[in-house]
Structure 1
Amino acid sequence: MGVNAASLLNQLLHQVRRPRSPPPPPPPPGPGAAKALTETILAHLDAGRLQEAVNVLFASHEPLPHSLYARLFQLCSSARAAVEARKVEFHLGAAFKRTPPPFLLNRAIEAYGKCGCLTDARELFDEMHERDGGSWNAMIAAYVRNGRAKRALSLFSDMNASGVSASEVTFAGALGSCGVVRELGLCMQIHGLMVKRAFCGNVILGSSLVDVYGKCGVMGESRKMFDEMERPNAVTWNVIVRRYLEMEDEREAIVMFFKMFLTDTRPLKFTFSNALIACSKIRALAEGMQIHGFTIKVCLEDDEVVSSSLIDMYVKCVELESAQKIFDRPCAKNVVSWTSMVSGYALVGRTGKARELFNEMPERNVISWNAMLAGYIRSRLWDEALNFVSLMRSSTKDIDHVTLALISNLCAGLSDVFMGKQVHGFVYRRGLFSHLLVSNSLLDMYGKCGNFRYARACFYLMSQWRDKVSWNSLLTSYARHQRSEHAMEMFCEMQWEAMPSVFTFGTLLAACANISALAHGKQIHGFMIRRGYKIDIVVRGALIDMYSKCRCIEYALNVFMEAAPRDVVLWNSIILGCCHNRLGKDALELFDLMSKEGIKSDHGTFQGLLRACICEDLVDLGGRIFKSMTNVYGVIPRLEHYEQMIELYGRAGRMRELKKFVKTMPFEPTVSMLKRIHGACQKHGFPKLGEWASRLLAESNISDPCEK
C-alpha cells in the first residue's frame, strides 16, 4: 500500500509542476510566520528527521531563506531521498514570485543526479530561464555519476557551443566520460581546449588526462602527461600504476610503484593492492616481499584490501606458508582471502587441505565454489569433482560462465559426452553459448570425447566470435584422435580468419609426425620462419620430433644445434629421434655431450638410452645404464624402463638374465611384459619361464597368443 501511495504522489507532483504554472496566491502570512516555520524545520533537521522537515515545508507557502533550501537539497542528496527532493524543488518554485535563484536550482539538479533521477534533472535544466556554469556542471556531473557518458559528452559539446566556459570540475567529468567510452579523439580535443584555457597545471585535470589516455590504451601519452606533472599526488601515482596493470605491463607497474617512494608520497592502500596484483601476475616474489615490507612500515598490513592482495600474491607465487601466516591474522579473513587460500591449496594438488578450508568458510560466493572445483579437475580427481558439482547444485543457485566451463572440462575428463550434452542444453537455455569461454569449453569437450559431429557444429555456430583458442581446440582434437589430415585442412582454413599461435604450430607438427607428412612439416617450419615467429624450446622440440619420425634426422639435428639454451626435454627429443632412425650409437654419443654440458638426466633420457641399447644389441651396457639410474643419477625406474630391459634381454636371448631380472622386479609383471617373456621363451627355448608366463597370462584372463 505504501509503494502505491509513493508512486501516486510522484505522479501528482509531476502533473502539478510539469509544465510550471504560477500557483494560486497564498493567504497573507501572519507576522513572524516565516521565522517560526524555519525554526520548526531546523529542529526536525537537527534531530535527523528529514522527511518530517520536508513535510512541514511542503504544507506551507512561505518563502524561506536560501540557505535552508540549500541545506535541504544537500541532505536529500546524502540520503538519496528523491521524493523529498521533488517536494523541496516544488516548494522553491511555488514560494518565489520570480524565478528562483540559479544556484538553488543547481543544487536541485545535483540532488536529482545523486538520487539517480536523470529525467527530473534534465527537465529542470531545460526549463531554467537563466543558466550559469554551475548549471551545466551539475547536469554533466549527474550524467557522469549515473554512467551516461555519451550524454555527458554531448552536453559538454553543447556547453562549449553556447559559449559557457567550463570549470575544472566540468573538464574532469568530460575526461572521465571519454575514458568510459574510449573516445580518444574527443579526449585530445578536450586536452587542447584545456591547454588553451591554461588548465594544464591543475593536478586534478593532469591526473584525469593520465587516466583517460591510459584507458584509451595510449600509455605513451599517459606516461608523457604524468612525467610533465610537477608534483603528482597519491591519486596520480595510483592511476599510472593501475593503467600499466590494466595494459598488462605488470613490470612497469611495479617499477612505477617503487619510484613513488623516492618522492616521499605515501601510497594509497589501492596502490599497494595494484602493485601486489602486478607481482601476482608475473610471479615477482622478490618484489612482492619488498612491498609486503612497505605495508608493515606504513601500518597497512592489517588493512582488508592490502592483506587480501598479499595473500593472493603469495598464493600465485606458490608461497603458501607465507600466505597462511597472513591469513591466520584476525583482520585478514574475508570471502576474498578464504577463496585465495582454497584456490592456492587446490591448484598445487593439496585438495584435502583446500576442501578443509572450503568447509570452514563462513560465507561463499560462486568464485569460491569454482576455485574448489578447479582444484579437483586440475588434479584429475574426476569422482570428487562430480560429487562436488552435485553438492554445489544442491547448496547454491549461483553459477556463472566459469562454472559451466569447468563442468564441461569435467565431462571431457570423464569422457562423458552424454553429460556434456546436458551441460550444452543448459547453456543454450540460459543464453550463455555466445560467451567465448563457455563455447570454447564445449568445443574442447566434444573434441576430447571424439564426437566431431557436435564439435564441428559448435565450431561453425561460433563463427561470429570464435578466436585462436577455438581453432587450436579443434586442431588439437583432430591430432589427438589420429585425424592428422583433418588437422592440416583446418590449418589452411584458419589462415583466412585468425593468425596461428605458437601452440597451433606445436599441434600441427605433432600431426605431421603422426602421419609422416614431411612435406607439410617443412611447409609449417618455413611458414614460421617467413612470418617471423619465435621458435621457442617447445616448438623446437616438436620440430625435432617431426623430422625424426619422418626419417629426416639431418634436419632434426640442425634444428637441435640451432637451439640455445638446450634443456633436458630437447636432449631427450634428439636422443629418441636418433633411436627412431636406428642410430643408437649416435644417441649414446649425444648422451655423453649432454652430460658434459651439465644437463641433469630424467626418466625420458634413460628411456632413450635403453632404446639405443635395444637398437644396437648392447645388452651389458643396457644393464649398466639401468643400474646407474638409481645408483648414480637418483632416478627411480618406471614401468617403461622395466619393459625395455625385458625387451633387451629377450631379443638377445639372454634368458637366464631375463629370468633373474623378472623375478627381482619390485612388482608383478604386466600383461604386455608377460606376452613379451612368453614370446622370447618360445623363440629361444626356455620352457619353464615360458610356462610360468603362460600361467600368469591365463590367470589374468588373457588368451595365450600361441593358441591363436
Structure 2
Amino acid sequence: MYIKCSNMEYAHKVFDRMPQRDTVSWNAMLFGYAGSGSMSTAQVMFDSMPERDVVSWNSLISGYLQNGNSRKSVEVFLQIRRERVGLDATTFAVILKACLGLDDYNLGIQIHGLIIQLGFVHDVVAGSATVDMYAKCKKLKESITFFEEMPVKNWVSWSALIAGCVQNDEFSHALKLFKNMQKERLGVSQSTYASLFRSCAGLSSLQFGSQLHAHSLKMNFGSDTIVGTATLDMYAKCDRLIDAKKLFHSLSTHNLQSYNAIITGCIRVNQGFEALQLFCNLMNTDLGFDEITLSGGFSACAVIKAYKIGIQLHGLTIKSRFLSNVCVQNAILDMYGKCGALSDARQVFDEMPTRDAVSWNTIIAAYEQNGKAHETLQLLVQMLSSRFEPDEFTFGSVLKGCSGLKSLNHGMEIHGRIVKSGMCFESFVGSALVDMYSKCGNIETAKKLHERMDEQTMVSWNAIISGFSTQEQSEESQRFFSKMLESGINPDNFTFATILDTCANLATVNLGTQIHAQIIKQEMQSDVFISSTLVDMYSKCGNMNDSRLIFEKTENKDFVTWNAMICGYSQHGLGNEALTVFDVSCYLDCLINGLIFIEEAEGDKRNILSSEAECQ
C-alpha cells in the first residue's frame, strides 16, 4: 500500500520491522525503489537479498530501463546469463525494449535467437515484444513475417504491429490491420487508437478518422485524454480545425500534448494570433512546455510577423533547457527570417552548435524571402562546403533567388546540379525551374520543362502563363490557360489576374467576360487582387460602365484598385470623373491616417459626416 502511494519512507519502516521477510517482500521494496527512480537504493536492496527469483532480476532490469539506463539493463541481463538464472517471457520483453533504447538492432537479433533457443518463440508476451523490436528498428518486413508466424496473438501483438506500421509510414497497412483485428473481436487500447489516428492524419483520411472517432466513443474512450489528443490532432491535420477546437474544449483534462496539437493545428491554417493565445493559456497552467511547444510559439510569431513577441519568446528559450535543441533553433531562425530580422537570424545561425539540413534551408529561405538573392547563392556554396546535400526546399529557395536576380547563368548551373541529384522532374523543383526560366526570359525552355513534368502544379501553370504574358505573347498565354482548365486544375487569384491582364492587352472583352464568369462561379470576386485586375481589364477594353460597377462593388479597395479606376477614366478622356475618384481616395487616405478630425463645431461635423456618407 505504501509503495503504491509512493511513500517509500513508510514502506521501508514497515519492511525493517517485519519479523520474517520472504522473496515477495524484498521484490516489493526493489520494485518500489526502482519505480521511484532511486536505482542506487534498488541496487543495494537487490545485492542484500538472501534469495532472488526471476521477478527480482526482471524488476532490476526494468528499473534501469525505466530510468533511462538501457546499457545497465543489458549488463544485468548478461549477469543473469552468466549465473544461469531461469528466465521468463517478461525478461525478454524488457531486454528487447533495452535494445531499442540502445538502438542496437544486432543485439535484438541475438535476443531473438535466444528466445528461439529457450523455447519462448510461441509465447505471446515474448512474441509481441519481438514484433515491436523489429518494427521500431525499421525492419517492418521482418516484424510482419514474425507476427504472421505467431501461433497465438493478443491485442498487444496487434497493437505492436499497428504502431510499427505507423512508425514506418505504412499508414494504409496500419488501417488494414485494424480492420482485421476487429474481425478477431479483440479489444482496442488507447495506444492503438493513438496509432490509428496518426495513420488517418498521415493519409488525410477524414472519413475514416471520423468513423474511428465514433468507434472510440462507443468503446468508452470519450473522456480519455490520450485518445482525445490523438483525435484532435487528426482533425487538425485533416484541415478540420473547427472540429479539433471543439474536441479540445470538450476534454475534461488537458495535457501538454493536447495543447501542442491544437497550437500546431492553428499554425497549419495560419491562425497565428489564436495559436499565441493558446500558448499564453498554456503558460498559465502547471503543464510546462517542451521543444514542440516552443517551436509552435515561434511559428505563430512567424505567421503574424510578431517580432517583439518572438524576442520575448527567445528570452524564455534561453532560460530553458531547450536552447540547444536544433528543432527549436530552426524555429527561431524561421521566425526572425519571416519577420525581416536577418541580422538576428544570421546571429542565431552562426551560434548554432549543431546544424542540420533544415537549418541551412531556413537561413537560405530567410535571405531569399527578404530579397537578398546574392547572399542566397553564397549560402548555397557554404552549405555544399559543409557537406550538406541540397534538397527540394533548398533548390526552391535558390531558384527563386536566381529569378530575383534575373540570372539565367546561375539558374542553369543550379539546374545542372538538380539533374545530377535526380530531382529534375519532382513537382516542387520542376515548378521552381519553370518559374526561374520564365522570369529570366527563357520562355521556350520553361515551356519544355513544363510539358515534361509528370505532375504539373499550380506554380508551374502560373509561371508559364505569366511568362508568355510578359513576353508579349498573349495568345500563347491564353492557350495555356485553356489547357490548364482542360487538365482539371482550378485557377487561383494570380492565374485569373494574369490572364485578365492579357485580355486587357489584347482588348478581348468577350474572353475577359467569360473569365469573369468563372471567377464568380469559384466565388473569388471579393478578392481585392482580382477586383483590381477586373477594373483595369474592363477599362482597357473600353467598357467603363462595367469597370465602374466592379469598382463600386469592391468592399476592401486598396491603392491598386483606386489607381486602376483613376487611370481608366484618364485614358478615356474622362478627366472630371478621374479627379472626383482621386479626391475621394485622398480624403479616405487622410481619414485612415488620422489627418482629418471631426471638429466640435456643428457645421464642420455635419459637412465631414456627409462627405463620409458620400465616400461610403
Alignment deviations for residues 481-524 of structure 1 (CA, whole Å, 9 cap, x no partner): 11111111112222334332322222222221111121222232
CA RMSD of aligned residues (A): 4.0
| C-alpha distance in 2 between matches for 1:400 and 1:592 | 50
Report the Cα offset of residue 204 of structure 1: 2.0
Moved more, 549-558 or 120-129: 120-129
Corresponding position: 1:153 with 2:74: yes
| C-alpha distance in 2 between matches for 1:307 and 1:402 | 19
Distance 1:548 1:107, change over 3 A: same
Report the Cα offset of residue 220 of structure 1: 2.9
SS in 2 for 1:665: helix
Report the Cα offset of residue 235 of structure 1: 1.7
Distance 1:620 1:229, change over 3 A: closer
Q: Which residue of 2 aligns with 1:334?
A: none
Structure 1 contact 606–629 (Cα < 8 Å) conserved: no
Moved more, 137-146 or 257-266: 137-146
Q: Which residue of 1 aligns with 2:172?
A: 251
Corresponding position: 1:111 with 2:29: yes
Structure 2 contact 299–331 (Cα < 8 Å) conserved: yes
Corresponding position: 1:429 with 2:319: yes
Structure 1 contact 233–265 (Cα < 8 Å) conserved: yes
Q: Which residue of 1 aligns with 2:607?
A: none
Q: 1:279 aligns with which of 185, 191, 200?
A: 200
Q: 1:483 aligns with which of 369, 372, 392?
A: 372
Q: 1:525 aligns with which of 404, 408, 415?
A: 415
Structure 1 contact 401–437 (Cα < 8 Å) conserved: yes
Distance 1:430 1:597, change over 3 A: closer
Structure 1 contact 253–275 (Cα < 8 Å) conserved: yes
Report the Cα offset of residue 457 of structure 1: 0.9
Distance 1:375 1:161, change over 3 A: closer
Corresponding residue pairs, total: 584
Q: 1:500 aligns with which of 384, 390, 414?
A: 390
Q: Which residue of 2 aligns with 1:692?
A: 580
Q: 2:548 aligns with which of 662, 671, 676?
A: 662
Alignment deviations for residues 269-310 of structure 1 (CA, whole Å, 9 cap, x no partner): 54344323322332223444565676688x556673796378
Q: Which residue of 1 aligns with 2:132?
A: 211
Aligned residue identity for 1:114: G
Alignment deviations for residues 140-167 of structure 1 (CA, whole Å, 9 cap, x no partner): 4554565543223212212222344434
Q: Which residue of 2 aligns with 1:344?
A: 244
| C-alpha distance in 2 between matches for 1:159 and 1:294 | 45
Alignment deviations for residues 632-660 of structure 1 (CA, whole Å, 9 cap, x no partner): 776527444454455557668x5xx4476
Alignment deviations for residues 563-621 of structure 1 (CA, whole Å, 9 cap, x no partner): 34445554333211210211111112223334444544453333222222344x33544
Where does the alignment leave 5 or more consecutive residues of structure 2 unmatched?
591-616
TM-score by length of 2: 0.80
Q: 2:425 aligns with which of 535, 541, 546?
A: 535
Q: Which residue of 2 aligns with 1:315?
A: 235
Structure 2 contact 276–300 (Cα < 8 Å) conserved: yes
| C-alpha distance in 2 between matches for 1:376 and 1:262 | 37
Report the Cα offset of residue 456 of structure 1: 0.8
Report the Cα offset of residue 121 of structure 1: 4.4
Aligned residue identity for 2:150: M
| C-alpha distance in 2 between matches for 1:678 and 1:565 | 42
Distance 1:564 1:342, change over 3 A: closer
Structure 1 contact 619–649 (Cα < 8 Å) conserved: no
Structure 1 contact 622–645 (Cα < 8 Å) conserved: no
Aligned residue identity for 2:26: A
Q: Superposition pairs for residues 387-426 of structure 1, below 5 Å?
A: 398-413=288-303, 415-426=305-316
Alignment deviations for residues 21-54 of structure 1 (CA, whole Å, 9 cap, x no partner): xxxxxxxxxxxxxxxxxxxxxxxxxxxxxxxxxx
| C-alpha distance in 1 between matches for 2:517 and 2:412 | 39
Structure 1 contact 517–550 (Cα < 8 Å) conserved: yes
Alignment deviations for residues 216-264 of structure 1 (CA, whole Å, 9 cap, x no partner): 3332332232222112222211211122223333222222222324445
Q: Which residue of 2 aligns with 1:18?
A: none
Aligned residue identity for 1:572: N
Distance 1:410 1:278, change over 3 A: closer
Report the Cα offset of residue 557 of structure 1: 0.8
Higher relative contact order (CA 8 A, sep 6+): 2
Alignment deviations for residues 525-555 of structure 1 (CA, whole Å, 9 cap, x no partner): 3322221227343333322211111111111
Q: Which residue of 2 aligns with 1:449?
A: 339
SS in 2 for 1:582: coil
Q: Which residue of 2 aligns with 1:591?
A: 481
Alignment deviations for residues 54-92 of structure 1 (CA, whole Å, 9 cap, x no partner): xxxxxxxxxxxxxxxxxxxxx676566645665576567
Q: Which residue of 2 aligns with 1:193?
A: 114
Aligned residue identity for 2:224: E
SS in 2 for 1:499: coil
Distance 1:681 1:190, change over 3 A: closer
Where does the alignment leave 5 or more consecutive residues of structure 1 unmatched?
1-74, 321-340, 346-352, 703-708
| C-alpha distance in 1 between matches for 2:532 and 2:500 | 10
| C-alpha distance in 2 between matches for 1:141 and 1:363 | 30
Q: Superposition pairs for residues 14-33 of structure 1, below 5 Å?
A: none
| C-alpha distance in 2 between matches for 1:210 and 1:479 | 47
Corresponding position: 1:170 with 2:91: yes
- What fraction of aligned residue pairs are identical, expressed as a percent? 25
Corresponding position: 1:304 with 2:224: yes
Report the Cα offset of residue 427 of structure 1: 1.7
| C-alpha distance in 2 between matches for 1:383 and 1:174 | 47
Structure 1 contact 187–212 (Cα < 8 Å) conserved: yes
